[in-house]
């Protein structure tokens, strides 16, 4: 039986990856950070099957201790402050977790001389303001946030340790992937929750930022399969994972609202844009500059040809199915959203 350790096991990807590895017969361990509120809701259904260890990727000693006691065959470093907008508010912490976190992990494997394969959760945000589209493994980086800059440090650290010490460590350069387990701080879930809220009688409009941002959105369970495949190769290499399809925030909204029974019609541009109920004319979506970022990444589109060719990986869930799954989930769970991003307006 192989042993895997997942940092970030309580997150969207960590929870799906834990499920996948359990299905494959792994002994699964996870790094859990202490929180004053309950933070295991995504993995509570795996209770007793995943062994949790308290630790934090900003704390070298805890990383060393947990890695040495688990002695994993595979280590998936998913822990991160993963919200791009928030990284402008907490840039130093973001660097501690997202840049130095993997350095601590690599040293925890290198110092005791463990034979352990390492996956680093790298990101399409590295491409930022990319000069070419679509982006693949050889596209130059142009990061545009403290988050992306921290992840760029992590990317090069993985390559350095791979070449300097022969450690099997890889970067998975993953484009956006979403699911029913996505936090409401990200635009997709914010939209699907709001679309369902309107079906339950929400009155106030949904406030969004840049409606014209373009992303390559896939389904998270497909992407954790790709992570695992990257660690089963004979030689360590970096891979892009993406759907190869690009859609706007506006389009995401229109489909989610349609699934919830609302014919959303757009009018106007920029700050004046509104989304109206095609039947009643009521304004359901407005633009609020509080959700504009200090620097925006306006367009990302991935080319995952290398993953298809060498890993045999092709994402199964397409854009429309993704939107439908997320919206259906929120329609079937009648809880009003908390407007999780409201604090940006006040801060
Ligand atoms: P997520 O839902 O925000 O999960 C992040 C995980 O990291 C959570 O388990 C969180 O714990 C944990 N964490 C945060 N800071 C930590 C610290 N200091 N020490 C230990 N654990 C810490 O993110 P995700 O969507 O699953 O993404 C997983 C990884 O992939 C992240 O590194 C993200 O940057 C990267 N990524 C994501 C995407 C995407 O579209 N989802 C695309 C490219 C790359 P709590 O539960 O306690 O908060
Ligand atoms: N969050 C949010 N809220 N984003 C909005 C909103 C809003 O109200 N309105 C428009 N957007 C736009 C953002 O400006 C951005 O261009 C796009 O929607 C996507 O934003 P997010 O869903 O917050 O995700 P992200 O693309 O910034 O980052 C995600 O994907 C990266 C991979 O490309 C995260 O998962 C990162 O961790 C990941 O690395």
pLDDT tens track for 272-306 = 999 999 999 999 999 999 999 999 999 999 999 99
Q: Which pLDDT score, from 0 to 100, does residue 333 have?
A: 87
Cβ–ligand 1 contact at 38 (below 6 Å): no
Question: By three-state DSSP, how is residue 157 classified?
Answer: helix
Ligand 1 pocket, 19 CB below 6 A? no
Q: Residue 187: which H helix or E strand, with range?
A: helix 187-199
CB of 79 closer than 6 A to ligand 1? yes
Question: Residue 330, exposed/middle/buried by CB under 10 A (0-12, 13-18, 19+)?
Answer: buried
Mutate to test the pocket of ligand 1, among 16, 50, 60, 79 (most ligand atoms within 8 A of CB): 79
Whether 243 sits among the annotated catalytic residues: the reply is: no
Among 212, 201, 141, which residue's Cα sits nearest to residue 173?
141
Q: Tell me, using a 6 A CB cutoff, whether residue 95 lines ligand 1.
A: no
Distance 298 CA to ligand 2 centre (A): 10
Q: What is the mean pLDDT of residues 41-45?
A: 97
Which residue among the candidates 10, 123, 139, 327 is catalytic per the annotation? 123
Whether pLDDT at 344 is above 70: no
314-327 tens-digit pLDDT = 999 999 999 999 99
Among 8, 14, 33, 103, name the best residue to mutate to test ligand 1's pocket (greatest count of ligand atoms within 8 A of Cβ): 8
Question: Would you say the CB of residue 78 lies under 6 angstroms from ligand 1?
Answer: yes
Question: What does the mean pLDDT of the chain come to?
Answer: 96
146-165 vs 100-110: helix axis angle to the nearest 10?
Answer: 20
Q: What is the pLDDT of residues 63-120, one digit of tens each?
A: 999 999 999 999 999 999 999 999 999 999 999 999 999 999 999 999 999 999 999 9
Cβ pair 102, 158 in contact under 8 A: yes
Question: Residue 335: what are its φ and ψ, rounded to 5°?
Answer: -120, 125
Q: Is 303 exposed, middle or buried (0-12, 13-18, 19+ CB in 10 A)?
A: buried
Instruction: Please state, in angstroms and rounded to a whole number, the distance separating the CA atoms of residues 327 and 330.
Output: 5
The pLDDT value recorded for residue 286 is 98
Q: What is the per-residue pLDDT across 215-226, written as a single tens digit (0 to 9) for each? A: 999 999 999 999
Task: State how far the Cα of 232 lies from the Cα of 327, in Å rounded to an integer.
Answer: 34
Q: 190: Cβ below 6 Å to ligand 2?
A: yes
User: pTM of the predicted model, to two decimals?
Assistant: 0.97
Active-site hit among 74, 125, 178, 184: 125
Beta-bridge mates of residue 175 = none
pLDDT tens figures, 7-23:
999 999 999 999 999 99
């Amino acid at each position: 039986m192989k042993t895997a350790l997942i940092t970030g096991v309580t997150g969207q990807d960590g929870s799906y990856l834990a499920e996948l590895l359990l299905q494959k017969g792994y002994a699964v361990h996870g790094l859990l950070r202490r929180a004053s509120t309950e933070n295991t809701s995504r993995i509570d259904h795996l209770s007793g099957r995943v062994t949790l260890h308290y630790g934090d990727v900003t704390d070298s000693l805890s990383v060393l201790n947990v890695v040495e006691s688990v002695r994993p065959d595979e280590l998936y470093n998913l822990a991160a402050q993963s919200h791009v907008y928030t990284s402008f508010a907490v840039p130093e912490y973001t660097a501690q977790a997202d840049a130095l976190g993997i350095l601590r992990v690599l040293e925890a494997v290198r110092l005791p001389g463990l034979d352990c394969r390492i996956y680093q959760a790298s990101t399409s945000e590295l491409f930022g303001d990319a000069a070419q589209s679509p982006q693949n493994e050889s596209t130059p980086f142009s990061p545009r946030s403290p988050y992306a800059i921290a992840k760029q440090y992590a990317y090069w650290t993985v390559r350095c340790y791979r070449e300097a010490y022969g450690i099997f460590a890889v970067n998975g350069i993953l484009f956006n992937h979403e699911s029913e387990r996505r936090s409401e701080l990200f635009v997709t879930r914010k939209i699907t929750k709001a679309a369902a809220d309107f079906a339950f009688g929400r009155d106030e409009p949904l406030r969004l930022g840049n409606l014209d941002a373009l992303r390559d959105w896939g389904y998270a369970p497909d992407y954790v399969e790709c992570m695992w495949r990257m660690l089963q190769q004979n030689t360590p290499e970096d891979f892009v994972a993406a759907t190869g399809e690009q859609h706007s925030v506006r389009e995401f909204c229109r489909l989610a609202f349609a699934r919830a029974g609302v014919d959303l019609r757009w009018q106007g541009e920029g700050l004046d844009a509104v989304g109206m109920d095609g039947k009643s004319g009521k304004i359901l979506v407005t633009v609020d500059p509080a959700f504009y970022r200090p620097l925006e990444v306006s367009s990302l589109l991935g080319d995952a040809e290398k993953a298809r060719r060498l890993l045999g990986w092709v994402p199964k869930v397409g854009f429309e199915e993704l939107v439908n799954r997320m919206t259906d989930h929120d329609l079937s769970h009648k809880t009003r959203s908390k407007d999780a991003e409201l604090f940006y307006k006040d801060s």
